[in-house]
Structure 1
């Protein structure tokens, strides 16, 4: 109790203490040494034994309840989440209305503007990582988005002995991905708000995990529905293939990676993003390296896959496998009470 005195004095119920203890590495085995059946039982005693000044105890507001300050904050990060999509739409329109040197200028300035827009969109709100994202993870994320834009066309051109000049760009799927931060932020917000409500209502850590797992799956499914709707809309408007498989799995991968990173779980998302990006990069390298004397067999696996299911099968497999790994990781980590504790207790 001396070691966790501040945690006990700030807590408004025993489960907040249990979440803080779990975040500090206290397990049921530790609680057993202190003659308690589990961490929650230990937290109940610590909560009961903590002396509190009635005026110092914070009021137990209903998590997720609307307030003027919360509404302003939600409006702020919602507006920022719409910026990448608006900039992406402007860039696509500019590319279709220009040609030659002006088109190149629009493309370069558009890439920079979209990068700034994504930075602003992810700087605050439910998807904010509080500066936990590493430079390596950012670099692989940029590569994955670049491959979604140009990778399939480049792979097809390389298989035909090119590239000979330019190749087609998949602007519709990328525009849908740029529009996706807004529904992603709201799905993350709904998940966090509902989880905080369950944190107040649950009477044990296992009960909390069991009640939060369906919330996670529901929020993830809601985001996928919104993403596939955006892919269909952009494909129809731009008269391009929507890229459901490749862009859909990439969007799922990026959302799960951001949910985990925003709550401090950075190692697995970083490795999965790097793995998916490396697979895509290796596929292009093997196709080009197969032109060297005696290396024609290197292109066999990628060429067979692209011939059977199209060039979009490669990013679909790479990002889909990564998204599946992160979904399992999220089901294990984001259902812990400590993942939804206040930042000062979970740090």
Structure 2
């Protein structure tokens, strides 16, 4: 009997051994059976497929695969940073608050300065908030593994936040024949600055991180207790929607509070739509789904830029009709309709995508590759 015949005979008698041979790298690297179950699902193995390997579900099959691999020399699984009494460390818990605190200080400086000092305060404030946000994104539930490829979404995100600051004011000025000057950092200049949405979004980073952490922790617990992929998905979907609703509720409360303190109009729909879009995009990226956020963020930013461009292009001879859609939209619902519709539609697309992807067991295995 040849070696090939022997392997075929053994694989037919022991199908799990053949499966172990095909997914040996996954089984060797796994730190627990849950990671194997998630990896098998990512390779298209379902509970129905597991029945062909004489197991009732993928989780049971993963437990046998895990038990068959010797692990005497394996390192212990990684654990989150904790103090000696088992609680999460204070820096990890408080770091998400830093972007909001520095943004509040920057907005206060803008309101207390004038002329060149205001320009200097704006530059320092933007730099400080950017560095704080970068530090916060490197740790905690909204961080991504360092070895994972990071798509070029920073430019699109900066555009969307910049539009929240200046876009509505510029669009209104453009429709009425302006602007007649550059923005002066206030809400009553030629090019009004809307500081409340940006400040509320910065303050909402902490609720976003905590909501994402709750969802991730719930998913890992359900992976340990679920006895089937459908069972896991059914429990993960409400947790995802709950975390999303929790973040939106916190953002709405912060918007109301900040608008009252700064005495600015309550731009609730547009800011909520932008916050929902950024939260879902980051949550998908954290779990390895980078393609959809990159495409959706870029399309949204381009749509907003196009709306502004058509208003200015309509001033050229023979191109007056270009601004008709934007003019009609803003006359009916105001300049805030543009970010509300663009960000709202984009957030809805990502929410549907998240409900399909983040409720799969394979989305919660450690060190996922970009999808």
What is the TM-score with the length of structure 1 in the denominator? 0.89
Does the CA-based 8 Å contact 1:133-1:261 persist in structure 2?
A: no
Residue 121 of structure 2 is aligned to residue 109 of structure 1? no
Give the distance between the partners of 1:36 and 1:242, measured in 2 at CA.
Answer: 56
Report deviation, 1:122. 1.1
Q: Quick one: structure 1 residues 80 and 5, their matched pair in 2 at CA, closer, same or farther if it must change by over 3 Å?
A: same
Does the CA-based 8 Å contact 1:339-1:346 persist in structure 2?
A: no
2:159 paired residue among 143, 149, 154: 143
Q: Secondary structure at the match of 2:266?
A: coil
Task: Give ranges in structure 1 of 5+ residues lacking alignment.
Answer: none
Q: Secondary structure at the match of 1:2?
A: helix
Report deviation, 1:129. 2.2
Q: Deviations over 1:288-338 (max 9, x none)?
A: 000000101000000110110011111010000111011111111111111
Q: Secondary structure at the match of 1:343?
A: coil
1:181 corresponds in structure 2 to 205
Higher relative contact order (CA 8 A, sep 6+): 1
Report deviation, 1:12. 7.2
1:21 corresponds in structure 2 to 40
Q: Quick one: structure 1 residues 137 and 57, their matched pair in 2 at CA, closer, same or farther if it must change by over 3 Å?
A: closer
Residue 105 of structure 2 is aligned to residue 90 of structure 1? yes
1:123 corresponds in structure 2 to 138
Report deviation, 1:4. 3.2
1:189-338 map, 5 Å: 189-338=213-362
Give the distance between the partners of 1:53 and 1:43, measured in 2 at CA.
Answer: 15
Q: Secondary structure at the match of 2:21?
A: coil
Residue 180 of structure 2 is aligned to residue 156 of structure 1? no
Residue 114 of structure 2 is aligned to residue 99 of structure 1? yes
Does the CA-based 8 Å contact 2:33-2:63 persist in structure 1?
A: yes
Task: Give ranges in structure 2 of 5+ residues lacking alignment.
Answer: 1-19, 182-189
Give the distance between the partners of 1:114 and 1:274, measured in 2 at CA.
Answer: 23
Give the distance between the partners of 1:24 and 1:78, measured in 2 at CA.
Answer: 35
Q: Deviations over 1:249-301 (max 9, x none)?
A: 10000000000001110000110101111111000000000000010100000
Give the distance between the partners of 1:72 and 1:34, measured in 2 at CA.
Answer: 41
Give the distance between the partners of 1:101 and 1:67, measured in 2 at CA.
Answer: 46
Q: Quick one: structure 1 residues 121 and 14, their matched pair in 2 at CA, closer, same or farther if it must change by over 3 Å?
A: closer
Give the distance between the partners of 1:69 and 1:344, measured in 2 at CA.
Answer: 30
Give the distance between the partners of 2:369 and 2:53, measured in 1 at CA.
Answer: 22
Give the distance between the partners of 1:70 and 1:181, measured in 2 at CA.
Answer: 25
Q: Deviations over 1:142-167 (max 9, x none)?
A: 00000000000000000011101131
Report deviation, 1:11. 5.5
What is the TM-score with the length of structure 2 in the denominator? 0.84
Does the CA-based 8 Å contact 2:197-2:271 persist in structure 1?
A: yes
Does the CA-based 8 Å contact 2:47-2:229 persist in structure 1?
A: no
Give the distance between the partners of 2:86 and 2:91, measured in 1 at CA.
Answer: 10
Give the distance between the partners of 1:134 and 1:12, measured in 2 at CA.
Answer: 25
Q: Quick one: structure 1 residues 204 and 57, their matched pair in 2 at CA, closer, same or farther if it must change by over 3 Å?
A: farther
Structure whose alpha-carbon radius of gyration is higher: 2
Q: Quick one: structure 1 residues 10 and 112, their matched pair in 2 at CA, closer, same or farther if it must change by over 3 Å?
A: closer
